[in-house]
Amino acid sequence: KQENGTYQVRVQFTDSLGRRRNKKKTVASLTLAKRAEREILNEVDAGTFNKVQKKITMNELIDKFMLDYSRGKREVTIIRHKIFIENSVLTDEWFDNVQVSKISRPIIQAWLDWIASKHSAYKAESVFLKKILDFAVSYDFIDVNPFSNVRYPTP
């Protein structure tokens, strides 16, 4: 009970990203407070609060992905992928400091057309970006991989 006669309900829980979260609600009576607490707990159990989309940039996503991807890989493989990311993905022209949620299928298609004009082995290289975006889907940073249903340019 607060000084002004209202009741405040506070529920703490852990979301799908592993972060501790709080949900507060202020109501007029004790009965409403108990009802609000039950509603919040039901929403937490149903996973309503777990569908939080974190605003993450492509740079942060790639850092997280590389930590996960580099386990068990040879050093030369990791270096080759980092060079590809620096030269072709994280450029000012394309995905440097872009929020992952802002990346759409037409942007991916334009990037794919651009990379096909620069590299002969563009399919093998573009699959790596698809893996990164699949990683973002699996961690609920985005709902759908924008790389799905793109058309690979013909040589």
**How confident is the model over 15-66, as pLDDT tens digits?**
766 777 778 888 888 888 888 888 888 887 776 665 545 688 888 888 888 8
Residue 49 is predicted with a pLDDT of 61
The whole-angstrom separation of Cα 42 and Cα 88 is 46
The whole-angstrom separation of Cα 124 and Cα 147 is 14
**How confident is the model over 92-135, as pLDDT tens digits?**
778 888 888 888 888 888 888 888 888 777 788 888 888 888 88
pTM exceeds cut of 0.85 = no
Residue 48 is predicted with a pLDDT of 64
Residue 37 is predicted with a pLDDT of 87
- Residue 15: CB atoms within 10 A of its CB come to 16
